[in-house]
Amino acid sequence: MFWDEELETISQNKLKELQLKRLRDTIGRVYFNVPFYHKKFKEINIKPDDIKSVDDISKLPFTTRQDILDNYPTGLLAVSRDEMVRVHTSSGTTGKPKAIFFTKNDIDRAADLIARCLVMTGMRKNDVLQNMMTYGLFTGALVMHYGAEKVGILIVPAGPGNTERQILLMKDFKTTALHITPSYALYLAEYIKSKGIDPTKDLYLKRAYLGAEPYSEETRRKIEDIFGIDVYNSYGLSEMNGPGVAFECEYKEGMHTWEDNFVVEVIDPDTGEVLPDGQKGELVFTTLQREGMPLIRYRTRDISRIIPERCPCGRTHRRIERIFGRSDDMFIVKGVNIFPQQIENVLMSIKGVAMNYQIVLESLDNMIVRVEIAKDLFDGNVMHLVNLQNRITEELRKEILVKPKVELLEPGTLPVSEGKAKRVIDNRTL
Amino acid sequence: MKVKQISIFLENKKGHLLEVVDALGKAGVNIRALSIADTSEFGILRIIVPDPDSAKKALKKGGFTFNENDVIAVGVSDRPGGLAAALKILSENDINVEYLYAFVTKSEERAVVVLKTDDLDKSIKALKKSGISILQPKEVYSL
């Protein structure tokens, strides 16, 4: 089933035409209305009329995160501030956040894309979505909320935390879907288990949408198994509305990027060159429908690739592969690039390991992986624990090529996150 | 013939052993025998208590990670070579001892050793046959 069948299954040719029309329109608006872009285009002597095909987009300059920060708060607006109805910010670790503004139409379009995603993954009017994301400056909860409302889904705006109450709401309102961070989903799973609740019998869940933090394929499978539900990968970032930029369909093989709303490119992060479909590189997005704060060739720092093959679901919008890593999350130990997801993948595949873990960076050459042992697998045998520790060390070494120090912890030792999990603790003074 | 033993996972952090022992003490659990096995990273505390169920309850309440299993308690004469006699029998019967530790007893003439082997039933049979005394659980808990 489709939310917008005509646009979701539009022919590739027509999609290109539509993209070009919208791209030219967007470029015209930023050129004349946003001084930052006007200056940037002038510097390389580009005029809106020079864009004659979608591929000509590669002539345009990139927008970086720093550009958004430099123009904080309202420097990148393409229409008057008075037309804006909402501002979201994206967490900056230091100093000022990135501010993203929305007009009324922008909100409506973002919601419409979410509606496509929800219907695509089986949600209908009679479903109940428990939204466990933080309502506030962060885009996740609110953008999802508006999209679900558009479909006519009953929303339980629970926000994160207070696990006991979450379970009560899930039971009493017969929640069929969760919007949740992966770390909280894992915690919820353990909690439910400890209370003797059988999610497949005592709850009504059918699916979950994970977001806000990267997670591994193993984690997805684990959550699917424990709750007996489908989990759909999705991709989004505040700079591009938040959730709903790309979403998996029922086939769960890559995420459809809504190309009538975004031009997606994959570039070589070092040279900035556009890479052919199928090749791994940094995702770059251009908004095609945004009024308030259009962004041209925004560098996401997320690593993925475009899957050019047609999807059996009938949607023509090309898919991107699950994010391999966010280049920001990457850290280097002994000169090797490591993504936290690689570590999570290994840990989640080992029996005897609970779901919480932490990576501690001690120096350029030393990292500690702190792992909670699974309570029900503890049998009092020292050798079994030593073997587990050795096995984790060895499996990690195979995956990341660096031998970490592995510490076994008692379940419940590590801080439980009910929002965004902090998995990497950096104690290095560089 | 088998005695219940509780093993508790000890993470390598300051004060952890105290927390465990304190939780047991507050629950009125008297520890009859104990041993700690450790590596540089973590340890396992093994205890024998008169009332394993209330100990488990207290540990569960304290959020500790633990496990209950069977061991045997062997009475050996308290003189040089006493333990060797028991171990020799096990060795002759091809039984591996995984670990052992001694009991604190008030009696002078015999020492009680807690034994975990890879085959408890076979151990009991072999030891009994050789006339080595194996303590009944009731005896052990009330030592």
List C-alpha distances in Å: A83 to A166, A173, A260, A292, A404. Answer: 37, 37, 23, 8, 53
List C-alpha distances in Å: A280 to A125, A237, A254, A324, A325. Answer: 38, 19, 14, 9, 11
Parallel, antiparallel, or unpaired for β A306-307 and B97-102?
unpaired
- Three-state DSSP at A105 gives helix
* A412–B37 CB contact, under 8 Å: no
Q: Which residues of A touch B12 (CB under 8 A)?
A: 407
pLDDT value of position B12:
78
Give CA angle at A152 (A151, A158), nearest 5°.
105
What is the C-alpha to C-alpha distance for residues B41 and B124, in angstroms, rounded to an integer?
34
- Three-state DSSP at A113 gives helix
Tokens for A73, please give them.
Answer: 């708060």
Cα radius of gyration rounded to whole Å, chain A: 22
Q: Give me the mean pLDDT over the B59-88 stretch.
A: 88
pLDDT over 80 at B85, yes or no: yes
pLDDT value of position A166:
96
| Sign of torsion over alpha carbons B122, B127, B128, B129 | positive
Mind telling me how many Å the CA of A180 is from chain B's nearest CA? 26
- Closest C-alpha to A235, from A325, A123, A297: A325
Residue-range domains of chain B with CATH:
2-69 (3.30.2130.10), 70-141 (3.30.2130.10)
Does A196 contact B at CB distance below 8 Å?
A: no
pLDDT value of position B107:
66
Mind telling me how many Å the CA of B44 is from chain A's nearest CA? 7
Tokens for A216, please give them.
Answer: 């591994």
Across-strand partners of A359?
A369, A424
- Three-state DSSP at B141 gives helix
Mind telling me how many Å the CA of B97 is from chain A's nearest CA? 13
Mind telling me how many Å the CA of A192 is from chain B's nearest CA? 16
Q: What is the largest CA-CA distance in chain A?
A: 73
pLDDT value of position B32:
86
Q: Which residues of A touch B52 (CB under 8 A)?
A: none
What is the C-alpha to C-alpha distance for residues A267 and A281, in angstroms, rounded to an integer?
5
What is the C-alpha to C-alpha distance for residues A120 and A8, in angstroms, rounded to an integer?
10
pLDDT value of position A44:
94
- Closest C-alpha to B97, from B77, B131, B71, B75: B71
Which residue in chain A is spatially nearest to B7 when comparing CA positions?
A: A380
B interface toward A at CB cutoff 8 Å? 5, 7, 9, 11-12, 37-39, 41-42, 44, 46, 63-67, 69, 98
Of the given ranges (A281-290, A412-421, B67-76, B94-103), which has the lowest mean pLDDT? A412-421
- Three-state DSSP at A334 gives coil
* B39–A412 CB contact, under 8 Å: no
pLDDT value of position A363:
85
Q: Which runs of consecutive H residues, i.e. helices, occur in A195-334?
A: 199-202, 217-227
* A380–B39 CB contact, under 8 Å: no
What is the C-alpha to C-alpha distance for residues A6 and A395, in angstroms, rounded to an integer?
48
Residue-range domains of chain A with CATH:
1-327 (3.40.50.12780), 331-426 (3.30.300.30)
* A412–B63 CB contact, under 8 Å: yes
pLDDT value of position A412:
80
How does pLDDT run along chain A (430 residues), one tens digit per residue?
A: 999 999 999 999 999 999 999 999 999 999 999 999 999 999 999 999 999 999 999 999 999 989 999 999 999 999 999 999 999 987 654 567 899 999 999 999 999 999 999 999 999 999 999 999 989 888 999 999 999 999 999 999 999 889 999 999 999 999 999 999 988 898 899 889 888 999 999 999 999 999 887 788 888 999 999 999 999 999 999 999 999 999 999 999 999 999 999 999 999 988 999 999 999 999 999 999 999 999 999 999 899 999 999 999 999 999 999 988 777 777 888 888 888 888 988 998 898 888 889 999 988 888 999 999 888 788 888 888 999 999 999 999 998 889 999 999 888 888 876 656 778 888 887 6
pLDDT value of position B78:
77
pLDDT value of position A338:
86
What are the tens digits of pLDDT across the range B22-33? 999 999 998 888
Mind telling me how many Å the CA of B109 is from chain A's nearest CA? 31
* B67–A379 CB contact, under 8 Å: yes
pLDDT over 90 at B45, yes or no: yes
Chain B interface, best mutation among A409, A414, A416, by max B CB count within 10 A:
A409
Confidence band of B41 (pLDDT split at 50, 70, 90) = confident
pLDDT over 80 at B129, yes or no: yes
Chain B interface, best mutation among A387, A405, A410, A416, by max B CB count within 10 A:
A410
Q: Which residues of B touch A387 (CB under 8 A)?
A: none
What is the C-alpha to C-alpha distance for residues A194 and A164, in angstroms, rounded to an integer?
12
Q: How many CA atoms lie within 13 A of A294 on its CB side?
A: 30
Q: Is the pTM of this model over 0.80?
A: no
Please provide residue A316's backbone torsions phi and psi, each rounded to the nearest 5 degrees.
Answer: -95, -10
Tokens for A421, please give them.
Answer: 């999990």
pLDDT value of position A214:
77
> Could you say which residues from 390 to 419 on chain A have a Cβ atom under 8 Å away from some Cβ of chain B?
407-413
Dump the DSSP string for A166-206.
Answer: HHHHHHHTT--EEEE-HHHHHHHHHHHHHTT--HHHH----
pLDDT value of position A430:
60
Which residue in chain A is spatially nearest to B98 when comparing CA positions?
A: A381
pLDDT over 70 at B110, yes or no: yes
* B11–A409 CB contact, under 8 Å: yes
* B9–A373 CB contact, under 8 Å: yes
Q: What is the ipTM of this complex?
A: 0.74
Which residue in the block uniquely carries the two structure tokens 């505390």?
B45
- Closest C-alpha to A98, from A75, A76, A65: A65
What is the C-alpha to C-alpha distance for residues A216 and A227, in angstroms, rounded to an integer?
17
Tokens for A313, please give them.
Answer: 């679901």
